[in-house]
Structure 1
Amino acid sequence: MAMAKPSFLLLLYLTIAVVVVLLLSAPATRPYRSHRRLKLRSSFSFSPSPPATAGSGAAHTIPFDPIISEIELRREDREWERAHYPEEKPAPGMESAPEWKEFGNAEDYINDEDHFNVTSRILLLFPKVDVAPTDGFITPEELAAWNLVQAQNDVMHRTKRDMKLHDKNRDGFVSFDEYERPSWAGRIDDNDSANDGVGWWNKDHFNASDIDGDGLLNLTEFNDFLHPSDSANPKLIYWLCEEEVRARDKDNDGKLNFQEFFNELFNLVQNHHEAPHESEEAPAKKLFSDLDQDKDGFLSAAELKPVIMNIHPSEHQYAKQQADYMISQADHDKDGRLSLSEMLENPYIFYNAIFSEDDYGFHDEFR
């Protein structure tokens, strides 16, 4: 029986594909269904933003479909080139191309059934997501893994673009002197320390990102520098913990007492948007005690490590959160996984773009 599964699944995919193609080729016989218009995201910034923290309320969505991601990134690239290099010729692959391939009218492309049909895309993408194991169902883990790859590809694309901007001498590395701090990060004084009281984008941040200690950031290190919460570099994770202590330590003793933890961090650890209520003091004390490994009544930077990813969510967490949302919306039989038919019945759930139905106006599935 085990040997027959791949063949059976292939036959299943082909059968469903044939049925869908027949339906699509006979529009006169299809029942009317309100057309939903997709819109590309336009909330990205050309310059780094303050680091995201849990409970900040910032929307974070990951494109499920690589085609949507490509269109969005190509459109960003065009605007970025115009903003930073107005005198340069278009980068390779960015030259004028016919119709939608130029991505100048991408809105028309993704809303034209002759070009882009979400049902057909689900049919194509389902077997690419259903890989561990290939059993005809997509689990939360499989969907989160797929989302994570899409997110990492997007992040690295933008990092390469930023590296071009900051690598002044075009040697493939970024030095601390080459990096231009974002305006919100404050200025650097003569001692290379931030005068705004926080350490983002200062020399400590740079050195923690510099894994090999050569004083320069290669592409991987520069990506870690821009996105520390996604890094596997232990020095950078520890730096994140140190930064939280530095920012929340009101009495400047280099550690956090319970009141500092409760007032400043507990709501972020719990992913709350508001300051903690008095009723939450008991669970906060328990968490504080659990984190306080040496039982000295204070939390050091090292003791914050178990919850630092709650404070600074990673792309892995966003990918899992989005996967859980998608499955909760499309899993009609509530078995905790998605069949191909469930995805075909709910295709728009998997497109993290704003869309609207003819009679209902715009709304956003993820915000």
Structure 2
Amino acid sequence: MIRALLMCFALCVVSGSSKPTESKSRVRDEEPLSHIEHDDSKNYDYDHEAFLGENEAKAFDQLTPEESKQRLAIIVDKIDSNKDGFITEEELKVWIKRAQKKHIYDSVEHQWKDFDMNNDGKISWDEYKNVTYGSYLEDPQMDTEYNYSHMMSRDERRFTVADTNGDLIADKKEFTAFLHPEDHEHMKDIVVQETMEDIDKNGDGFIDLMEYIGDMYTSEDGEDEPEWVATERQQFSEFRDKNNDGKMDKEETLDWILPSDYDHAEAEAKHLVHESDANQDGKLTKNEILDKYDVFVGSQVTDFGEALLRHDEF
């Protein structure tokens, strides 16, 4: 694990210095719900990926309509979080966001067993620290170019913020927030703090223009400055530094790295309700969803396709 940490750290260093002509971005944009064009007049493929996630949508494409409806019915029960028999826009939005972040949850599941050393279903700070920094803890004087003491202190701070009940033991939700803080509202301040610590070289608590550019671009002797650097200077003056004091404070840095843009999941939830709400009451029943199953999920609808599926089962 310590090797993986080293590699990750090294990659961050490389991305910032080895290719000075390429721009490095710290902006944490949300991933698109689908890379497919959203055109319902052609098909509902975009909606399928937004609702299910890319891999699951492909799996549904191989099902018969009957199988597709059966699986969709099971999903509907999962979406109905309060079990009142209706699916609201908010419940749909929550589900779509989960589908969008499925790869994150899969990543956490994959790493979980590496850290849960006593197999109690939780990960304590001591477990994480011993797995990640074990070699350093055994020999703090080891010769290395990395400041493990600083890295460990920074990790402990983030772990403490992710640990909402304050027991220094993380469940799956808390550990996910620790590994992927940009996706959790209560972790935004720590993401901003870590970013400012990385960029604020003079330690004044702000990011000035020189530090902002220096984080993305390192000039070399005799080298012409790439055009994108001039664009970034303009971006800093016109958009990043909102109060025009020549530097970015915490709020301005937050707006830069975690922009509150258009909520694609909310828009898709509204769209799915609009497409399927037969009685126009603003919420969906299971029957309304199943009646419009082709909007939510795909299926193999041709006789030839069904024959292939039946053949594949033998």
Bigger relative CO (Cα 8 Å, ≥ 6 apart)? 2
Query: Which is richer in helix?
Result: 2
| TM-score in terms of structure 2 length | 0.48
| TM-score in terms of structure 1 length | 0.43
